[in-house]
Structure 1
Amino acid sequence: MPSPYRAIFAVPGTRAFSAAGLVGRMPLSMLSIGIVTMVSQVTGRYGLAGALAATTAVSGAVLAPQVSRLVDRFGQRRVLRPAAAVAVAAVTGMLLCVRLGAPQWTLFAFAAAAGCTPSVGAMVRARWAALYRGTPRLHAAYSFESVVDEICFIVGPVLSIGLCTVWFPEAGPLLAAVFLAVGVALLTAQRSTEPPPHPVAHHRGPSPLHSGGLRVLVAVFAATGAVFGAVDVATVAWAEAAGHKTAAGPVLAVYALGSCLSGVVFGLLSPRGHASRRFLIGVAAMSVSMIPLLLVGNLPSLAVALFVAGMSVSPTMVTTMALVEELVPRARLTEGMTWTGTGLAVGVAIGSSAAGRAVDAVGAHAAFGVAVAAGALASVVAFPGYRRLRPAPEEGKARANEHQHHQDHHEDRGDGAGWDGTVAQLGG
């Protein structure tokens, strides 16, 4: 492992919580595409499949920030376990309804309840931020977690689609629920690296969404999510039209592979200048990379186009997390990170639903037009909001004072001078 990545694992417990986060995040790449594949297998209706996936995503957009807000106040262990239990029960109920041919409204009810799935990625990143806030190691940690995200998206769709089509239709979402239960159990067992909860008094201020910069990030992520949702549905439909539905999983894995490789390289760099400029470049690159999807003529060319498109994803995600850490108060960091995931979930819902309707009405190829339009919208939102991505001078000064107080606190306790003493204390 290259040295910047090796360095972030110097603190005891970091390998354990990151590995648990990998397991717990698998549903991120498996559940939505599993629902689409399952329902299209059983009913042949992509519109219904996209609507159910959209329902889960919209519900997550509403419930996940509330779960994260409770995590910031009461701690990960006390909140994540009951939230994950409800989500697993809801997914199980939806699968039973599909198996038994229950009325459609029951599917939507359980899909909505599944939205309380906690944002495991935000929980893991909050642990890294607690360890490495204000140091170059945080960039490497966020880059590593972006790579982990993409590993999930390389493996998850292949597993989910493959199990649904080869074994039985409900197999993919069922395995996603198992991963969630196991991952949350493992993560919450890691007590030494859990960020301390913040008392209620720290949560009496305005919501993190009071920050204009965070609102810009959430809006851009909504458009980005629409790209992802449309690409998922359009790829499955395209592969089925070509007579190779099981190939949709590997093709989507290639999309994630492009992002994974770019994330590895990005983590080895030492970015200069403010993160807002890198964010704009990433969003613009993602938007332009959608256009070739309208020109593909077969599955290999689609895979190549998606690989190239994926190369802009991880750097943009890493940069976004850095911006959130800068814009949001420490006591609300998990909630702030989850709001970006909320924007992504809303976008996935819109993109999945719109692409599903496009497939039913026009055909698989036209559904990629939804991804192109969503990519263009992301740029339209990002560029006018560029100036909001820097904290106000007084906010920046307060954050610097907060970080200095954090350092002085550890030095006063005899933990050692500078950052190395702080990390040693946190890891001990």
Structure 2
Amino acid sequence: MSSANYRALLRTPGAAAFFLPASLGRVGVAMTNLSVVWLVHSHTGTFAAAGLVSGAFAVAEALGAPQLARLVDRLGQTRVLPPALFAHAAAVTVLVSLVAADAPDALLILGGGLVGASVPQLGAMSAARWAALLRTDRAAELPTAFALESLSNAVGYLVGPTLVSAVAAAGHPVLGTVLAASLSVVGGLVLAAQRGSAPAPAGDSAAHAPQDRSLLRSEVFLLMGLNLAIGVFFGAMQVSVTAFGVEHGAPSAAAPIFALSNCGGLLAGWLYGLRRWRVPPPVQLPAVTGALMLGTLLLLTVGSPFGLGLVVLLTGATIPPLLALFSVLTESTVHQAVLTRAFSWLGSASAAGSAGAAAVSGWAIDTLGARGGFAVTATAAAAMTVQSIVGLRLLRSRRGR
């Protein structure tokens, strides 16, 4: 099996010119929250303060991303992105200055919120460009394009946190924060400069959308529920795998297990995007969520780090295809005038699920051990499967364009 499908996509005029800088910027975005944790901890000496600032960052990003996306849909990427990137650079500068000045925690929390609220949503903008580029004459290639987006996201979250941790651990937390912001801003500016592939702005019609352009639709709520559940899965897995390693006297096992999961996901995502699937995406969705549910149920039976690694390889392999399917179904469900906003709201739902899962799974682990945390992941996967089955007819029969 070759990578001809991906090469054909990237040879499309204008495609590589927006996809590559967006991918570079994603690495910076993936670094940002962790870089804030390292920055605050290095100067305060406490993870409590770092956690509060990181929490403010996450909440502000979840709330701010859809508002930025609303402006992008209304005014266009090329008009909104440059000032948004300037605001992000300014927010990072403010936070670094506050840390250097030994500002009180309340101001650090405010600074973290400013950074989170201004994070550029490059993934949503890149996905919207693929939709604009392919939907007219090459709609059959959209699943491959969104699989490529999923791979870019996975690479960003594999490389970014590793890079910022290495820089910060070497004693340069400020450099890690500046590097994260620099990659985001540079990638975003190059993306904004690619005017030819940018979706046409919707103007005032996006702000006062008629019913067919509204996001208040049952299909969108279904997709938000799916993204909320996968966020719960992500958040619970991070805590539960770590707790499992501690329980079995191998706390260092978590890192290679996560790496194995990421590598399995990259391979599965690559293979998924290479194939032109005859089965429609709404029908694929229950199959993939069912596979994830099976994997999470197996998590409840493992008894060693090696066994956990094998099962996590299975669960990790389902994630990139799921993320690609979410994008395909979103693009086919909502009007193009509100597509960027829809992608951002789904990302916010996932972030909210991940944040809530960290607390819930922590309680479950304290009560029942690591298997309690894995029970949270299994519940999330079961919820996705049920939603996929119940919403099958809805997703197959209705379209937003």
Give the TM bin, normalised by the shorter chain. Answer: 0.7 to 0.9
Distance of aligned partners of 1:259 and 1:3 in 2 relative to their CA distance in 1, 3 Å threshold: same
Q: Is 128-137 or 357-366 further displaced after alignment?
A: 357-366
Partner Cα distance (1:369, 1:106) in 2: 38
Distance of aligned partners of 1:234 and 1:49 in 2 relative to their CA distance in 1, 3 Å threshold: farther
Asked if 1:122 corresponds to 2:124, the answer is yes
Asked if 1:197 corresponds to 2:198, the answer is no
Partner Cα distance (2:107, 2:17) in 1: 38
Q: Displacement of 1:335 after TM fit?
A: 1.4
Output one character per residue of 1:242-273: Cα deviation in whole Å (capped at 9) or x when no partner: 6766x755543332222211111111111123
Partner Cα distance (1:229, 1:4) in 2: 33
Q: How does 1:373-384 map to 2 (within 5 A)?
A: 373-384=379-390
Q: Partner of 1:308 in structure 2?
A: 314
Q: Partner of 2:168 in structure 1?
A: 164
TM-score with structure 2 length normalisation? 0.84
1:261 pairs with one of 257, 262, 267: 267
SS in 1 for 2:215: helix
Partner Cα distance (1:311, 1:228) in 2: 13
SS in 2 for 1:148: helix
Q: Partner of 1:425 in structure 2?
A: none
Q: Is 312-321 or 80-89 further displaced after alignment?
A: 80-89
- Structure 2 gaps of 5+ residues are none
Q: Partner of 1:282 in structure 2?
A: 288
Q: Partner of 1:407 in structure 2?
A: none
Partner Cα distance (1:163, 1:360) in 2: 33
Partner Cα distance (1:292, 1:90) in 2: 44
Q: Displacement of 1:311 after TM fit?
A: 0.5
Partner Cα distance (2:351, 2:385) in 1: 18
Aligned-pair identity (%) = 32
Q: Contact between 1:323 and 1:389, CA under 8 Å: does it hold in 2?
A: yes
Distance of aligned partners of 1:85 and 1:97 in 2 relative to their CA distance in 1, 3 Å threshold: same
1:183 pairs with one of 176, 181, 187: 187
Output one character per residue of 1:204-226: Cα deviation in whole Å (capped at 9) or x when no partner: 22564222111111111011112
Q: Displacement of 1:238 after TM fit?
A: 6.4
Corresponding pairs, count:
393
2:351 pairs with one of 345, 350, 360: 345
Distance of aligned partners of 1:48 and 1:190 in 2 relative to their CA distance in 1, 3 Å threshold: same
TM-score with structure 1 length normalisation? 0.80
Partner Cα distance (1:118, 1:189) in 2: 15
Distance of aligned partners of 1:65 and 1:12 in 2 relative to their CA distance in 1, 3 Å threshold: same
Q: Displacement of 1:352 after TM fit?
A: 3.4
Distance of aligned partners of 1:298 and 1:115 in 2 relative to their CA distance in 1, 3 Å threshold: farther
Partner Cα distance (1:35, 1:298) in 2: 34
SS in 2 for 1:140: helix
Q: Partner of 1:140 in structure 2?
A: 144
Partner Cα distance (2:21, 2:131) in 1: 17
Partner Cα distance (2:308, 2:90) in 1: 37
Partner Cα distance (1:97, 1:14) in 2: 40
Distance of aligned partners of 1:115 and 1:83 in 2 relative to their CA distance in 1, 3 Å threshold: same
Q: Is 361-370 or 325-334 further displaced after alignment?
A: 361-370
* Aligned residue type for 2:15: T
Q: Is 261-270 or 366-375 further displaced after alignment?
A: 366-375
Q: How does 1:13-412 map to 2 (within 5 A)?
A: 13-35=14-36, 43=45, 45=47, 52-97=53-98, 101-113=102-114, 114-134=116-136, 135=138, 136-169=140-173, 172-205=176-209, 206=211, 208-235=214-241, 250-294=256-300, 301-355=307-361, 367-392=373-398, 399=401
Partner Cα distance (2:393, 2:325) in 1: 15
Q: Is 288-297 or 232-241 further displaced after alignment?
A: 232-241
Distance of aligned partners of 1:160 and 1:358 in 2 relative to their CA distance in 1, 3 Å threshold: farther
Q: Contact between 1:27 and 1:177, CA under 8 Å: does it hold in 2?
A: yes
* Aligned residue type for 1:316: L
Q: Is 131-140 or 315-324 further displaced after alignment?
A: 131-140
Q: Contact between 2:268 and 2:320, CA under 8 Å: does it hold in 1?
A: yes
* Aligned residue type for 1:286: L
Partner Cα distance (1:290, 1:159) in 2: 29
* Aligned residue type for 2:146: Y
Distance of aligned partners of 1:4 and 1:17 in 2 relative to their CA distance in 1, 3 Å threshold: same
Partner Cα distance (2:302, 2:177) in 1: 30
- Structure 1 gaps of 5+ residues are 400-428
SS in 2 for 1:311: helix
* Aligned residue type for 1:143: A
Q: Contact between 1:33 and 1:232, CA under 8 Å: does it hold in 2?
A: no
Partner Cα distance (1:248, 1:129) in 2: 37
Q: Contact between 1:289 and 1:308, CA under 8 Å: does it hold in 2?
A: yes
Q: Contact between 2:6 and 2:144, CA under 8 Å: does it hold in 1?
A: yes
Distance of aligned partners of 1:281 and 1:37 in 2 relative to their CA distance in 1, 3 Å threshold: farther
* Aligned residue type for 2:141: R
Partner Cα distance (1:277, 1:240) in 2: 39
CA RMSD of aligned residues (A): 3.2
